[in-house]
Structure 1
């Protein structure tokens, strides 16, 4: 299998998760609906426009399909701004069938990208170290960014052969890998787990990050930044991942342009968010996820292909 060095524009569903009216907790999202984004609060670290590192609580947009507490609500206001602020946690429900997994996974020692769209686009299983993935969504005619992923390394895996990823921790396995292999069709597929470059171990100066802000004060709330890279980013790209071959120098220039655009929109580069805590006793005795199908079958009207949801 060859490896491709370049930039990937990765569009995924952009709508914000909406909790049930009056509910302060969202259950684990099942695969009878598409992935959505959450506006999240977490401990972490960030670099400001001067390159100085700071730490504390930060806010950022991301994918988190397990449970979360709604810790703040805003009225309808500025276009693109979130309505809800979530504090993530997780508890695998007793009925653990057809749960959405979380990908990319931006928590822990490094960012991880494990499966989304890889079954459909072989290129996504053949990315070379140094490649840059821009995860975002088409909204209002623009491409808005939630995660920058710089590939540091990758290893192939499947349901039948997990040996190559034996070093992943238990939360990642239970939040990401276990829900991935729900059906026999999923178990026949091959994937590649990528680890992201970090500020401590960058790839030619590049590292993975989420646009963020410090969680204190009125500025904690923000819309996802618009990213413009003519020829590399298509504003209205909705579903298909776009790969553009680039050499190392061109990738560095593209990454730095994204960083400059994030900073120009009043945001910082976030990383180092710890894995949300497990709460194994949460709501003991009742289902911790929205109602699911009986008998281990997909929700009505959904094929396994549709269920993958990304």
Structure 2
């Protein structure tokens, strides 16, 4: 068994914005970001407030195109969407949403939890995160690291594969999460004559390269590529912050205003912990509780300095 470690993780994922021809349908192409509108809760001046929010995030199921936006530069969004979903005839080829920021708790599973080395799948460090770990999900833009989600790892997690999805996952998450994140990984649970997802594609498992080094991987990873065991992490919510030195998961956001729609994702800079020009994979640094708190507070300060609030909840997208 690999040891769980408390890490600060700069986690890179594709930052390209969904266009209407793909953004309105359930995505079958590489992962992208959407700029969305949703009812939610946010923190402003230390207070919890509720309103209609605008924010960047991942949502690979369907969405209504609300409007095309006027933007002053390419860092701002071009389109505004309202997320929803409808069950497909088949999940084959459909992307899942990971991380998932809707509902009372954020969730992260699957993405980059394995790496291929010498023809075998082995688990990476993000498959073995200890509570209090911090993941900054973001992308590279103009050689800056731009942020869309801060995920603080909670103490409750579940290891799963196809054998225990129904018993250990389905009963403990929202129907929306199960149908938009878990089922795309295991289409055969929905349509019995459909093959399960190609995890190397759907979970961003990097292709093997000559430069891969064994010390970057954990020996506890499963060799079987057909039924890998993933870890479902539950993010720390605002109401749980006292158990984690005041830290909680959030997404940068603004209150929705018809006269001011759209904003650039905030750039985050922390020497030694964030690499500005990192474009793929993730960077990890082992930390302890006090350092985690300081790093989290630094991220919060930078987000707020760029005129943004901390979104702590967004309504679950409706099922049509």
Q: Distance in 2 between matches of 1:161 and 1:119?
A: 19
What does 1:136-147 correspond to in 2, within 5 Å? 136-147=138-149
Q: How does 1:133-172 map to 2 (within 5 A)?
A: 133-153=135-155, 154-162=157-165, 163-165=167-169, 166-172=171-177
Q: Secondary structure at the match of 2:126?
A: helix
1:243 and 1:103 map into 2 onto residues whose CA distance is 19
Asked if the contact 1:155/1:194 (under 8 Å) is kept, the reply is: yes
Deviations 1:88-144 (A, max 9, x none): 000022243110000001001100001111122521111000000000001110000
User: SS at the partner of 2:125?
Assistant: helix
Find 1:92's aligned residue among 68, 80, 87: 87
The correspondence of residues 229-244 of structure 1 with structure 2, limited to 5 A, is: 229-244=270-285
- Report how far residue 164 of structure 1 moved: 3.0
Aligned residue pairs, count = 273
Q: TM-score, normalised by structure 1?
A: 0.85
Whether 2:163 is the aligned partner of 1:124: answer no
* Structure 1 counterpart of 2:307: 266
Checking the alignment, whether the CA contact within 8 Å between 1:58 and 1:220 is kept in structure 2 is: no
**1:204 paired to 2:205:** no
Task: Say if 1:90 and 1:277, in contact at 8 Å, map to a contact too.
Answer: yes
Which residue of the other structure, out of 102, 105, 108, is the alignment partner of 1:107?
A: 102
Distance 1:75 1:219, change over 3 A: closer
Native 8 Å contact 1:88 1:276 kept in 2: yes
Shift of 1:170: 1.8
SS in 1 for 2:239: coil
- The Cα of 1:76 is off from its aligned counterpart by 4.8
- Whole-angstrom CA distance in 2 between matches of 1:3 and 1:95: 36
Q: CA deviation at 1:155?
A: 1.6
Show CA shifts across 1:228-259 (max 9, x none).
01100111111111110001111100000000
Let me know the Cα RMSD of the aligned residues. Answer: 1.5
1:266, 1:217 → 2: CA distance? 17
Structure 2 unaligned spans of 5+: 116-122, 188-194, 200-225
Q: TM-score, normalised by structure 2?
A: 0.82
Cα pair 1:119 1:190 within 8 Å, conserved = no
Q: Is the 8 A contact 1:213 1:219 kept in 2?
A: no
Spell out, residue by residue over 1:130-165, the C-alpha distance to the aligned partner (whole angstroms, 9 max, x if none).
Answer: 000000001110000000000013221111222332
Provide, for residues 154-210 of structure 1, a one-character-per-residue CA deviation record: whole Å limited to 9, x for no partner. Answer: 221111222332311222111111101244554511100000001111121000000
Identify the residue that residue 286 of structure 1 maps to in structure 2.
Answer: none
**2:61 is the counterpart of 1:71:** no
Q: CA contact under 8 A between 1:158 and 1:188: conserved in structure 2?
A: yes
